[in-house]
Amino acid sequence: MTNETGDEKVLSLKTAEQNRDASIELVEQARYALDIVCRDLDHALYDNDDFYDAVKKLATSGPKAKIRILIQDSNKAVKQGHRLVELARKLSSFIKIRIHGKRFKEFNEAWLIVDAKAWIRRPHADKYIAEVNYSAARQLRDITKDFDNMWNEANDDPNLRRLSL
């Protein structure tokens, strides 16, 4: 269902498939930045060839490319061999994954923000009911500040580092 309010185009999402497809679409359109907040790098959304290819293309698009991913727990992603973890290890100058700091450990939303102008927001990270807004630059000013605050308080996770043998 599509809503149009002013210059905003909002689409409601209800399933993992809809979320996955919208995530791929937004990242494919990204020019320089991708920020993700989620619990554990949801495999249904972010561990597929199309999403991987879109993130890789963005990461290798130029020196200004910046991908930041905040998660609560890396164990599942590391144990199951998540594609984004491997890509972040290979392209560590452009893709950073961090673990939430103490103040945000209980944060239970999921966001995917592209170029500080479009986003997907799931108000409950464990559910797939979401909104995608393709023209949310005004709204994202505050959201981007919130993401930056979470990012600045986040920690590097040794589980996500590349192992050199």
In a domain, 96, yes or no: yes
In a domain, 165, yes or no: no
Q: Are strands 33-37 and 110-114 parallel, antiparallel or unpaired?
A: antiparallel
Q: Which domain holds residue 80?
A: 2-159
pLDDT, residue 40, reads: 87
Residue of 50 and 83 predicted with greater confidence:
50
With a cut of 80, say whether residue 163 has pLDDT above it.
no
- Looking at every residue in the chain, the average pLDDT score rounds to 88
In a domain, 39, yes or no: yes
In a domain, 135, yes or no: yes
Alpha-carbon gap, residue 12 to 90, rounded angstroms = 34
164 band by pLDDT with thresholds 50, 70 and 90: very low
In a domain, 104, yes or no: yes
- Domain with residue 144: its CATH number is 3.30.870.10
- Spatial neighbors of 26 by CB under 8 A, at least 6 apart, are 112, 114, 118, 119, 120, 132, 134
In a domain, 47, yes or no: yes
pLDDT, residue 1, reads: 35
In a domain, 24, yes or no: yes
- pTM for this entry: 0.89
Q: What is the mean pLDDT of residues 151-157?
A: 92
In a domain, 164, yes or no: no
The string of pLDDT tens digits covering residues 11-22 is 999 999 999 999
If you search the block for the tokens 């561990």, which residue do you land on? 47
| Domains in the chain, number | 1
The string of pLDDT tens digits covering residues 69-110 is 999 887 777 777 788 989 998 998 999 999 998 899 889 999
